[in-house]
Chains A and B, each alone.
Chain A
Amino acid sequence: MPLPPADSPVLILGARSDIARALAHEYAAAGHPLMLAARDPATLAADCADLALRHGVTATAHAYDALDLGAIAAFFEALPATPRVVIQAVGYLGEQARAEADPQEAAHVVAANLIGPAAALEEAARRLAAAGGGTIIGLSSVAGERGRAKNHWYGAAKAGLTAVLSGLRQRWWREGVQVLTVKPGFVATRMTEGMDLPAPLTDSAAGLARHVKRAADRGRAVYMPWKWRLVMGVICALPETVFKRLSF
């Protein structure tokens, strides 16, 4: 599948996250104009100025509420250009304890990590296909590989997102839509701040973004850091009788 040309616009949903910001720089450095979307676009003004100044590309900010399912079509319609790359970086870790006790919070975790993001990608895939093809990059997680007591609502939502991305890939590849599922492990970002993460298994947002862009450019279907392939290979192979006794 041919790469989207370097002057083709990139749309980033959930553009305030550290990983989204790093991806914006990767694509801007390659010459792509950017459309950044977050709930409050005013918070993206400095990012737009920075991308324009450093990389000489245009960058615009757009209001996007991932939970407003009725607004998805209008959101895409109102964009100043048709994107050829759509990056879905919306996510919400939440607190497992709250999600366990409060069904509303559990529903919110699923809506914020699965339903909202996936619904926007359905729309994106249709539009990319209509425009002659393009690339979707969905940020899922290794947490979706096996449910853990620590975050099974988040994990469930990410497992669902991984499944949707897989389905979208199968559904649209003939029309030239490439779908990359990204499954990061630990990344030193705002989401993980204050957590005691093992340094050898923790990536930087910038490093992850570099790998993600390379995987997308090569037309890969899934990107997962190789260390995490090993870790999750072991974790997923454990029988439930053993797994249930583990406390990580």
Chain B
Amino acid sequence: MDMDSARDLAPPPAAGRCPPLASAELAGWGRVPRRRGALAAPRDAAELAALLRAGRPAIARGAGRAYGDAALAAEGGLALSMHRFDRLLGFDPASGTLTAEAGVVLGDLIRAMLPRGWFPAVTPGTQYATLGGLIAADVHGKNHHVAGSFGAHLGWIDLMGADGEIRRVSPETDPALFAATCGGMGLTGVILRAALRLQPVESGWIREETVAAGSLDAGMAAFDAAEARADAPPYSVAWIDTLARGPERGRMLLHLGAHATAAELEGRDPYATPPRRSLTVPMDAPSWLLNGLTMGAFNALYWAAGQRRAAAGPRLTDWERYFYPLDALHGWNRLYGRRGFLQVQSVLPAAPARDALAEMLDASAAAGLGFLGVLKRFGPQASPFSFPRAGWTLALDIPAGWRGHELADRLEAIAAAAGGRFYLAKDARLTRSRFEATEPRAAAFRALRQERGLAGRFASAQSERLGL
């Protein structure tokens, strides 16, 4: 019952035998939808290949940090937990290139590489996602406008196809498959390993400044002003008060950041950061805990605190608190209670963005349900299926319930009308028709899946819902 080195003693496994299958109820980070389905956790490439060759439609699953159903098995399909593929394989300090298995958790990668002076060139807002998940969602960071998305920093990807063969795809060897795998939501094969170019940093600290902007227009202007500065900081993201109304609608705190130099640490070990004090949400909160009143009060307090920080000037913040503030509260998704929550994240082309953003914020404040809002500007990016493109991206967290779905539908309609598109890593509810209307790229993605023998073999609950 206690150990599992059975395979060391059992008769030698026939090449590629299947590991045990479990039936598990899975959900994404938003905790809706939930689905019961087959789950396997292969220990090596041979077992993974055997599972794929058995023919069930499969989807790789990393840490389960996509919000919706991107890593849930399709009907009759199989979810492949990649948690045993969690090894760092090699590092070349000359080029800053790290090779690692897909199940490596980002925070573990950082803890191994930061003391050597290296940091991911792009990081999302959680350190608990896996390398494979970061690639599949082609995540963006607060520095997208200068660094692009995660895929821009990959040398190659080892991808296992439905035939169980491993192909090393790179922008040189197979540009089409490589580009479609970045942001391809796991639908182009199982990501096994990748080579990732890191950025050199002199410390584990971020020089952070806060700018308080009292309205949407002032906030958007503050992004412009920060980017125009001679010492423009690479990181910028705004917390936006989604419940403020009237002249204060869209008031925001713009958090700017740059990696601090060793000199700024004044002789301290530049890579040493204080241990994180974290709390855990032990159980589902009652669903009424987060409501318009409590969140309105929270937002007012947070806004007031942000104004004080803005007045206090630049300060040094360690990497965990700067990049991953929500990670300090383990299981924060449980604050929404059993109903779970939705996030609508869209990107809007720059020109119509302002009015659409205003409309979305009005809808959120009127419903009293948009609880957490984050605004960020993207730089240009042209990819076959990735989310980012030049413009503004707004993410809104909404409790799941019917009124939440009503608001989400309204927000989606506004974004779609403004020429926006949606982030599949967050999506749990887009309809096929709205997806088609906002994703002219879907046809080419489908065609590539057909051509490479991937259609029908790699599928998730999400791909089924969207008709991919």
Which residues of A does B touch, CB under 8 Å? Answer: 14-20, 38-39, 43, 46-47, 49-50, 53-54, 64-67, 89-94, 108, 111-112, 116, 139-143, 151, 154, 182-187, 189-194
In the assembled complex, B91 has its CB within 8 A of some CB on chain A: yes
Interface pair A141/B22, CB less than 8 Å apart: no
In the assembled complex, B101 has its CB within 8 A of some CB on chain A: yes
Which listed residue, B1, B9, B20, touches A194 by the CB 8 Å rule?
A: B20
Interface pair A143/B8, CB less than 8 Å apart: no
Interface pair B6/A92, CB less than 8 Å apart: yes
Report the minimal beta-carbon distance from B229 to chain A, rounded to whole angstroms: 38
Given A16-B43, A53-B112, A191 contacting B88 (CB threshold 8 A): no
User: Using Cβ atoms and an 8 Å threshold, which residues of chain A touch B112?
Assistant: 53-54
Cβ-closest chain A residue relative to B87 = A50
Interface pair A90/B8, CB less than 8 Å apart: yes
Report the minimal beta-carbon distance from A166 to chain B, rounded to whole angstroms: 17
Q: 7 closest pairs, A vs B, by CB?
A: A191-B4, A50-B87, A91-B3, A17-B5, A14-B5, A190-B4, A184-B2
Report the minimal beta-carbon distance from B464 to chain A, rounded to whole angstroms: 25
Interface pair B5/A53, CB less than 8 Å apart: no
Interface pair B3/A193, CB less than 8 Å apart: no
Given A112-B9, A193-B41, A53 contacting B90 (CB threshold 8 A): yes
Expressed in whole angstroms, the Cα–Cα distance for A11 and B231 within the complex equals 53
Cβ-closest chain A residue relative to B89 = A49
Expressed in whole angstroms, the Cα–Cα distance for A241 and B1 within the complex equals 25
User: Using Cβ atoms and an 8 Å threshold, which residues of chain B touch A141?
Assistant: 1-3
Interface pair A50/B88, CB less than 8 Å apart: yes
In the assembled complex, B10 has its CB within 8 A of some CB on chain A: yes
Expressed in whole angstroms, the Cα–Cα distance for A20 and B44 within the complex equals 16
User: Using Cβ atoms and an 8 Å threshold, which residues of chain B touch A54?
Assistant: 88, 108, 112
Which listed residue, B3, B87, B90, B108, touches A191 by the CB 8 Å rule?
A: B3
Interface pair B1/A143, CB less than 8 Å apart: yes
User: Using Cβ atoms and an 8 Å threshold, which residues of chain B touch A67?
Assistant: 9
Which residues of B does A touch, CB under 8 Å? Answer: 1-10, 12, 19-22, 41, 43-44, 84, 86-91, 101, 108, 112
A-B contact pairs, 20 of them (CB 8 A): A15-B5, A17-B8, A20-B5, A38-B5, A38-B8, A43-B44, A46-B101, A47-B87, A50-B88, A53-B91, A65-B8, A92-B6, A92-B9, A93-B4, A111-B9, A184-B2, A185-B2, A191-B1, A193-B22, A194-B21
Interface pair A49/B2, CB less than 8 Å apart: no
User: Using Cβ atoms and an 8 Å threshold, which residues of chain A touch B21?
Assistant: 194
User: Using Cβ atoms and an 8 Å threshold, which residues of chain A touch B3?
Assistant: 14, 17, 19-20, 89-91, 93, 139, 141, 184, 187, 189, 191
Report the minimal beta-carbon distance from A57 to chain B, rounded to whole angstroms: 12
Cβ-closest chain B residue relative to A187 = B2
Interface pair B9/A49, CB less than 8 Å apart: no
Expressed in whole angstroms, the Cα–Cα distance for A184 and B6 within the complex equals 16
Expressed in whole angstroms, the Cα–Cα distance for A14 and B6 within the complex equals 9
Expressed in whole angstroms, the Cα–Cα distance for A141 and B10 within the complex equals 19
Cβ-closest chain A residue relative to B46 = A43
Cβ-closest chain A residue relative to B21 = A194
Expressed in whole angstroms, the Cα–Cα distance for A15 and B5 within the complex equals 7
Which listed residue, A14, A46, A151, touches B87 by the CB 8 Å rule?
A: A46
Expressed in whole angstroms, the Cα–Cα distance for A142 and B1 within the complex equals 8
Expressed in whole angstroms, the Cα–Cα distance for A183 and B2 within the complex equals 8
User: Using Cβ atoms and an 8 Å threshold, which residues of chain A touch B20?
Assistant: 193-194
Interface pair B19/A190, CB less than 8 Å apart: yes
User: Using Cβ atoms and an 8 Å threshold, which residues of chain B touch A139?
Assistant: 2-3
Which listed residue, A17, A53, A64, A142, touches B4 by the CB 8 Å rule?
A: A17
User: Using Cβ atoms and an 8 Å threshold, which residues of chain A touch B44?
Assistant: 43
User: Using Cβ atoms and an 8 Å threshold, which residues of chain B touch A94?
Assistant: 6
User: Using Cβ atoms and an 8 Å threshold, which residues of chain A touch B8?
Assistant: 14, 16-17, 38-39, 64-66, 90, 92
Report the minimal beta-carbon distance from B191 to chain A, rounded to whole angstroms: 16
Interface pair B88/A143, CB less than 8 Å apart: no
Expressed in whole angstroms, the Cα–Cα distance for A45 and B331 within the complex equals 35
User: Using Cβ atoms and an 8 Å threshold, which residues of chain A touch B10?
Assistant: 92
Interface pair B2/A191, CB less than 8 Å apart: yes
Report the minimal beta-carbon distance from A68 to chain B, rounded to whole angstroms: 11
Cβ-closest chain B residue relative to A155 = B1
User: Using Cβ atoms and an 8 Å threshold, which residues of chain A touch B2?
Assistant: 19, 91, 139-143, 182-187, 189, 191
Expressed in whole angstroms, the Cα–Cα distance for A53 and B108 within the complex equals 12
Report the minimal beta-carbon distance from A116 to chain B, rounded to whole angstroms: 7
Given A53-B112, A190-B19, A16 contacting B87 (CB threshold 8 A): no
Cβ-closest chain B residue relative to A203 = B2
Which listed residue, A15, A49, A89, A184, touches B1 by the CB 8 Å rule?
A: A184
Interface pair A189/B87, CB less than 8 Å apart: no
Expressed in whole angstroms, the Cα–Cα distance for A19 and B19 within the complex equals 17
